[in-house]
Structure 1
Amino acid sequence: METTAILVKAGQLLLSLSILVVLHELGHFIPAKLFKTKVEKFYLFFDPWFSLFKFKKGDTEYGVGWLPLGGYVKIAGMIDESMDKEQMNRPPEPWEFRSKPAWQRLIIMIGGVTVNLVLGFLIYTMILWHWGEKILPVENVKYGIHTDSVGYSIGLMEGDKIVAVDGKKPEDFRDITKGVILDEAKTIQVIRDGQQLDVHIKDGFVGGTIRKKGAIAAVRLPAVIDTVIAKVKKEETPAYKAGLLAGDTVLAINGQPVHYFHEISKLVVKDSGKTVTVMVKRGADTITKSAKIPAAGYLGVNVFPDRHLDFVTKRYTFGEAIPAGFTTAIETLVDYVKQLRLIFVSKEVKASESLGGFMAIGNLFPSEWDWQSFWTLTALLSIILAFMNILPIPALDGGHVLFLIYEIITGRKPSEKFMEYAQIVGMVLLFGLLLYANGLDIWRAITGK
């Protein structure tokens, strides 16, 4: 990946996480202040040993740390990641967290999760209002599908037109893979040679699809070159060197007929490291060009689905965008929970193939700055952050909430020593998971798997 693309992805990730972390911590900070609880620190990113920037206003030190793994507010009289035992050994003060009623402490602790849920809903609302929702109805996939070995294994074929999953017509073609994997569908209804038939999904299909990191089926597109990529890693592409132009229609490669765009990649990969002949139609003329294919196996051309298929953009008034944004936020949360469920209950899905760290998250962002994609992914990450933080694990907000609910129900407060040990256990678990997920990223980058 080119340096510029990496920097663009990293910049989007950093900005997105900064927005989410600051607003999440504000969710704790504001109710703490309302209940007259002292907040000693408010930090974006962590600051072990030193901070990049800080200033103090009132009782609170505000700053930016150097370790971009999140952020925190340090609330006086609370057992948190700072593990400030000295403060907890002193008698409680009226302005400390531990001196406040349980219901106030509960509101302070759920504040961050609440903000992330509301933020996700608001972002989705504004996206739908400003950009609308671009969908590809299944009936508009006029060239049918192409698939890979996983799709072939259950009976999908080139040119099939998918019309339903388990008898239900998806609103958007891109919902098909999600529906099959997350809803564990048993059949796919397709039209083949003018007849509708059922394709039965076999065991092992979900795991295979996840390992492939792709869709079960992609739209088939005509072999028209929409753009020619000039350079890849500062090297001119074969298509650019050969003089191929946008608008050319590829007819054959090394004498092998080409009908659809995806066939170009298959033929080029087969001849990696060799010189191939590319026959194209340009206007009324048929032209043959020679192209030296690099070992990486690419020609350097692109096709854009929205230039060849009829996408539909659903427009929303602001009033319509509000319930639609709420529905989208809820669906996003439900889909994420289903994904986590697969990791724990499905024998086909392995954690090592599904988990990822900051590199995996960064790669979700496009290599060119696009505000619609940026805000869509920020909304998704906000929903994920809310769910992960409310899990009943010590050191997370959900762990504190669990102990507070126990206190409210029983009238007994867990001892500070118990809370201290629980915090340590939670931090060990979280750092272990963090190291594991980011280690997987590094392993995949090294091995290419």
Structure 2
Amino acid sequence: MDFVIKAGQLLLSLSILVILHEFGHFFFAKLFKTRVEKFYLFFDPWFSLFKFKKGDTEYGIGWLPLGGYVKISGMIDESMDKEALKEEPKPYEFRSKPTYQRLLIMIGGVLVNFLLAFFIFWMVLYSYGESYVNVEDAKYGLAYHPLAHEIGLNDGDVITHVDTFKVKSVRDIPSHILLEEANHLTVKRADSTFVLPIPEDFGKKLLDQEVKTLAQIRMPFVITNVLKGDNADLAGIKTGDRIVSINGQETPYFTEATKLFAQNKDKRVDIGLIRNNTDTTVRCEISDKGLIGVHAKVDFFEETVTTYGFWEALPAGVSKGINTLVSYVKQLKLVFSKEGVKQIGGFGAIGGLFPPTWNWGAFWELTGFLSIILAFMNILPIPALDGGHVLFLMYEMVSGRKPSDKFLEYATIAGMVLLFSLLIFANGNDIFRAFFK
């Protein structure tokens, strides 16, 4: 069920982004009286799932969900339809239009995606605001990945600064270590505060071991709901119980308990509980997923919430969009390393970003994030992408000479080979992670 919900969110998100991206091209093409032969969501090699024609344009839905396209008359694109180019240019064709009009047609999709991201972030901040648990309010401290223990961090420590950056949320910590190449951490341990140096190879180790969560807020494992008929219910565990040990090993916090559950999959264990201030023990079976069938309390700490009025959210949304773009561009440098290249993912990795339950706030925030990525990736100067066409148009504007149709044809083929190779590699990484890790 989790897979279905995530896949549904991914499909809806990408469909919205692709349709609006292609509409950007379509809008400027129509504005400059350029004929659009096709407007498709998804690709339609050999056949389409649905189509109809209105005016000069065929609208439809293809069967291959890898994007979408508009086919513009008189343009060499991924369709590789060159027959019309053998004839004399017609007034309604792309190749007959002034350079500035062709440029606007090509950047229309990217422009719409950027504007869409800013609009989504604006509406999300207005509707939901921003909320997080401030690390200063984490009275039980933080729990860390084993790699963090190797550099001297202990569970219960609180990282207050990464270099000079003041940490607010635990999400800030790995991003600043990786993207800003931080040198040291300021750590609060009990009543003392000290500076902990970050080894030069720490970021590479995080990438190599594909660490998703470097730190998380520690909290007791207090049960708020027991799933009827599941293992915990059969063992007699009740709402309000607090798990404090497993097979005699103390687990005062949620992270310790879940770690031991994962180590004892498909086994029966003795679970120590505190129930109404009294110690008790039950014997419970752990599933093959390391679960016992309970929900844990997560609202031990008061969240820091920032709310925005309608117009206040506009500049905040634009700022969030710009910061998202800057952060994503910085992440690209990580790809050019043997550790970073393993992080490249395809549709599986993207789908994994969505929550397992339908949450409109999370859905729209991720859609805004993906809109930024789609815009940036499309403007890269790679033939077959919008950025490749823009590059050739800029060359034409500067030199006064238009690249030959044969050159554009070969460049488009090379670009398509590169893009399909990256697509296969990225989704191959997903398959490898799913079956071998």
On whether the aligned pair clears a TM of 0.5, the verdict is yes
The answer to whether 1:311 aligns with 2:303 is yes
Percent identity, aligned pairs only, is: 54
Secondary structure class of the residue paired with 1:376: helix
CA shift in 2, pair 1:296/1:59, >3 Å: closer
Query: 1:436: which partner in 2?
Result: 425
CA shift in 2, pair 1:99/1:434, >3 Å: same
**How far 1:7 moved relative to its partner?**
1.3
Secondary structure class of the residue paired with 1:226: strand
The answer to whether 1:242 aligns with 2:235 is yes
The answer to whether 1:324 aligns with 2:309 is no
**How far 1:57 moved relative to its partner?**
0.5
- Conserved 8 A contact 1:228-1:240: yes
The answer to whether 1:264 aligns with 2:257 is yes
Decide which of 21, 24, 42 is 1:24's aligned counterpart.
21
The answer to whether 1:117 aligns with 2:114 is yes
Distance 1:272 1:368 in 2: 24
CA shift in 2, pair 1:269/1:172, >3 Å: closer
Query: 1:402: which partner in 2?
Result: 391
- Conserved 8 A contact 2:170-2:215: no
Q: TM-score, normalised by structure 2?
A: 0.96
Secondary structure class of the residue paired with 2:38: strand
**How far 1:286 moved relative to its partner?**
2.8
Deviations, residues 103-156 of structure 1 (Å, cap 9, x unaligned): 000000000000000000000000000011112222111111111221012111
Query: 1:68: which partner in 2?
Result: 65
Decide which of 80, 83, 102 is 2:80's aligned counterpart.
83
2:129 is aligned with what amino acid? G
CA shift in 2, pair 1:129/1:156, >3 Å: same
Where in structure 2 are the equivalents of 1:403-418 lying within 5 Å? Answer: 403-418=392-407
Query: 2:196: which partner in 1?
Result: 199
Query: 1:187: which partner in 2?
Result: 184
Query: 2:144: which partner in 1?
Result: 147
Distance 1:266 1:188 in 2: 26
Secondary structure class of the residue paired with 1:84: coil
Where in structure 2 are the equivalents of 1:29-428 lying within 5 Å? Answer: 29-210=26-207, 211-229=209-227, 237-305=230-298, 307-344=299-336, 346=337, 349-351=339-341, 353-428=342-417
2:269 is aligned with what amino acid? V
**How far 1:296 moved relative to its partner?**
4.2
Distance 2:67 2:266 in 1: 45
Secondary structure class of the residue paired with 1:389: helix
Secondary structure class of the residue paired with 2:273: strand
- Conserved 8 A contact 1:137-1:172: yes
**How far 1:91 moved relative to its partner?**
1.0
Secondary structure class of the residue paired with 1:221: coil
Distance 2:183 2:103 in 1: 43
Q: TM-score, normalised by structure 1?
A: 0.94
Distance 2:263 2:421 in 1: 42
- Conserved 8 A contact 1:182-1:338: yes
- Conserved 8 A contact 1:273-1:292: yes
Distance 1:227 1:433 in 2: 44
**How far 1:443 moved relative to its partner?**
1.7
Number of aligned residues: 436
Distance 2:125 2:323 in 1: 15
1:250 is aligned with what amino acid? I
249-258 vs 64-73, which deviates more? Answer: 249-258
- Conserved 8 A contact 1:52-1:65: yes
Query: 1:233: which partner in 2?
Result: none
- Conserved 8 A contact 1:116-1:385: yes
